Structure 1
Amino acid sequence: MSTASATVERSAAARRSLEGLALGDAFGERWFPLFRPPRQAYTEIRARRIPPEPHWYWTDDTAMALGVLRVLDRYGEIRRTELALALALGHDADPARGYGRGMHALLPRLLREPSGWPGFSRELFGGEGSLGNGAAMRVAPLGAWFHADLDRVAEQAVRSAEVTHAHPEGIAGAVAVAVAAALSARREQSLDAVAALTPDSAVREGLARAAALPFTTEPWKAADLLGSGGRVRADDTVPFALWSAARHPDDLVAALWTTAEGFGDVDTTCAITGGVVAARAGVEGVPAVWLERREPLPGAGRPA
């Protein structure tokens, strides 16, 4: 395959992943109490009743994934200072997208001094760095981009994470999701394989538990056992989202409903699941009404 053809292929895989990530993000956001009470939300999810609102807006998950993909499109790799600026510009353009407190503290500093990311990132949370799910929720398109080389996937995922998440758990979560997206794009999805390529961490331990959990398990039970983002930590978010993706590797809609049943941090878990499954399946099988309601991505209308 020529270099030009390879570039087109990896860009297409990354765009598929981004479309699914944004759909999962916007779909998941609709189930928060701001839009419907928890009991009503869970009843509607179990009944597979789609949110009736005409517009499903995506959140910081997608805003930051767009920053990652812009850097890849421009440089073909992660350049950390450039990524720091891209993420900061996204926040500056619309800080009301649902960013966590750590990012509200960090990203304005990166806007002023993007090259200061090594120190700024480590200073978060009392000098421990963030172990949250922010690096994981934005990284699936990167995994799809580098899917031909799993070692490169892991290395680039680390680089993408440490700009904002210096804690090893935050980095491990990003590696796990990137590897899962790469394997999905290769049609080789396996939770055991994801765990094997994830750094030694609580995230990896959670993935091992997820790999041993039968897909016949009710999603609410799987979320109870694995965590579904309620603690906003990578190890409490990534294993369940990737279990949902592995449960439905070719069916994005089914994967998102399964993930939503876990409740918790629903926009983030659905964004992760969506980005992984769409790296393989795209959004072609998604009902048109879902795609019409999802907020368009910059530079594109409704996905084909």
Structure 2
Amino acid sequence: MTSPQHAHAGLDGLVMGDAFGDSWFTRSDENAEELWAARAPRPRPWLWTDDSAMAFVLFAHLTARDEIRPDALAEELAAEYARDPRRKYGPSMHGVLRDIREGGDWRAVTSARFGGQGSYGNGAAMRVAPLGAWFRDDLPAARDQATLSALTTHAHPEAVAGAVAVAVAAALAAAGASQGAPSRPEFLREVADQVPDGDVRSRLLVAATFPERTSVRHAATVLGSGTLISAPDTVPFALWSAAGHLDDLTEALWQTVAGWGDRDTTCAIAGGVVASRTGTAGVPTSWHDAREPIPTWSRWNPPAAMTTGSRS
């Protein structure tokens, strides 16, 4: 049984996180940490990036098919890239999506990257939270469907593991929406239980051992916060941050952006996971107003109650 309502919320949270995080790539003459300490949001507009662009494609694909069909998904991702390639896609994805658009078979295109290893970037993980929420009642399906969605662009096992971890986290967050939030270590271990052995899983288990008062700076230093733009360097930190604020999307995004790495992507991941549980009603209305709208072609059309912000 699938859960489109929670997936709608997860997509909304992902896009909010993406746009909020991207707004914090400040000018060189600005002190981001001082601005963050003042809790003053960045000037509007907040534009979404490739994180959201690929999430829209994935969400529309699920809405139409209720499952991942890799051949079609690869073509759809490539078509959206061709329509708007200026959404901050990484260098590797420019090549992958261009080659697929020009007729290359996605299996050959993705597996040929990086000397035949495939990309282990964070692109498969950053778009996948709504898929996890979609399959919230079936963890094996969330895991398997996330794997299929990742392989269309990222052949490396660590990139796939990152996507699985985020999808499972979103599924767990959505499935537990009517219950009290689990502890951070409990949540991270439950996610890790579904992730293949490797660096992503190992760092999730390290994150689960952090003391309760661990600072964002320490977590980002130990786990990485996306500076390397890899799945192992991005996903564990983003999920550690989300796991500590499962009932507060606004605070989750404030804390996640303070990792200062690939901040649009870490916030997209954390936002998608937390919103799969909470929706986005607790986010200030001013944030919704600042964020670039979600395009109608994505088939995103959630109930009003899941998109109305607070009046702060």
Provide the TM-score with structure 2 as the length reference. 0.91
Residues in 1 aligned to 2:94 and 2:115: alpha-carbon distance in whole angstroms: 16
Map of 1:48 onto structure 2: 39
Residues 1:239 and 1:38: Cα distance change in structure 2 (over 3 Å): farther
Q: Hey, what's the Cα distance between the residues in 2 that align with 1:167 and 1:38?
A: 38
Q: Structure 1 215/92 Cα, relative in aligned 2: closer, same or farther at 3 Å?
A: farther
Task: Give the C-alpha shift of residue 48 in structure 1.
Answer: 1.3
Q: CA deviation at 1:125?
A: 1.3
Distance in 2 between residues matched to 1:74 and 1:98, nearest whole Å: 27
State the distance in 2 between where 1:242 and 1:125 align.
Answer: 27
* Alignment match, 1:57: 47
After the TM superposition, which segments of 4 or more aligned residues of structure 1 sit over 2 Å from their partners?
35-39, 300-304
Distance in 2 (CA, whole Å) between partners of 1:38 and 1:226 is 28
Q: Give yes or no for the alignment of 1:145 onto 2:142.
A: no
Q: Distance in 2 between matches of 1:144 and 1:286?
A: 19
Provide closer, same or farther for how the CA distance between residues 179 and 42 of structure 1 changes in structure 2, counting only shifts above 3 A.
same
Alignment of 1:63-82 (within 5 A): 63-82=53-72
Residue 28 of structure 2 is matched in structure 1 by 37
Matches within 5 A, 1:285-300: 285-299=282-296
> How far apart, in 2, do the equivalents of 1:74 and 1:215 lie?
42
Displacement of 1:39: 5.5
Check if 1:16 corresponds to 2:9: yes
- Aligned counterparts of 1:196 and 1:270: Cα–Cα separation in 2: 23
- How far apart, CA to CA, are the structure 2 residues paired with 1:147 and 1:110? 31
Amino acid at match of 2:202: E
Q: CA RMSD in A?
A: 1.5
When structure 1 is superposed on structure 2, of 11-20 and 213-222 the one drifting more is: 213-222
**Which of 142, 155, 158 matches 1:169?**
158
SS in 2 for 1:95: coil
Residue of 278, 282, 290 corresponding to 1:281: 278
Q: Judging changes above 3 Å, is the alpha-carbon distance between structure 1 residues 38 and 166 closer, same or farther for their aligned structure 2 residues?
A: farther
1:109 maps onto 2:63 in alignment: no
Counterparts of 1:244-283 in structure 2 under 5 Å?
Answer: 244-283=241-280
Offset at 1:109?
A: 1.6
CA distance in 2 between counterparts of 1:213 and 1:78 reads 35
Bigger helix share? 1
Alpha-carbon deviation of 1:113?
Answer: 2.3
For 1:31 and 1:37, how far apart are their aligned partners in 2? 11
Matched to 2:224, the amino acid is G
Match of 1:134 among 120, 123, 132: 123
Q: Secondary structure at the match of 1:96?
A: coil
Q: Which residue of 1 aligns with 2:222?
A: 225
DSSP-derived class of the 2:112 partner: helix
Q: Secondary structure at the match of 1:97?
A: coil
Aligned partner of 1:3 in structure 2 is none
Would you say 1:124 and 2:152 are equivalent positions?
no
2: CA distance, partners of 1:148 / 1:214: 31
User: For 1:207 and 1:91, how far apart are their aligned partners in 2?
Assistant: 31
Give the C-alpha shift of residue 38 in structure 1.
7.5
CA distance in 2, matches of 1:197, 1:30: 33
Residues paired across the two proteins, number: 293
Distance 1:267 1:256 in 2: 10
Q: 179-188 or 146-155, which moves further after superposition?
A: 179-188
Contact 1:46–1:261, Cα closer than 8 Å, also in 2: no
Match for residue 88 of structure 2 among 90, 98, 101: 98
Q: Secondary structure at the match of 2:243?
A: helix
Query: Can you list the C-alpha shifts for 1:143-200, whole angstroms capped at 9, x where unaligned?
Result: 0000100000100010000011100000000000000000000126510000110011
Alignment partners' CA distance in 1, 2:197 and 2:28: 38
Separation in structure 1 between the aligned mates of residue 90 and residue 204 of structure 2, nearest angstrom: 24
* 1:84 paired residue number: 74
Cα deviations across residues 61-119 of structure 1 (Å, max 9, x unaligned)? 000011111110111000001110111111111111000011100101212326x1111
Distance 2:30 2:159 in 1: 31
Q: 1:277 to 1:38 in 2, by over 3 A?
A: farther
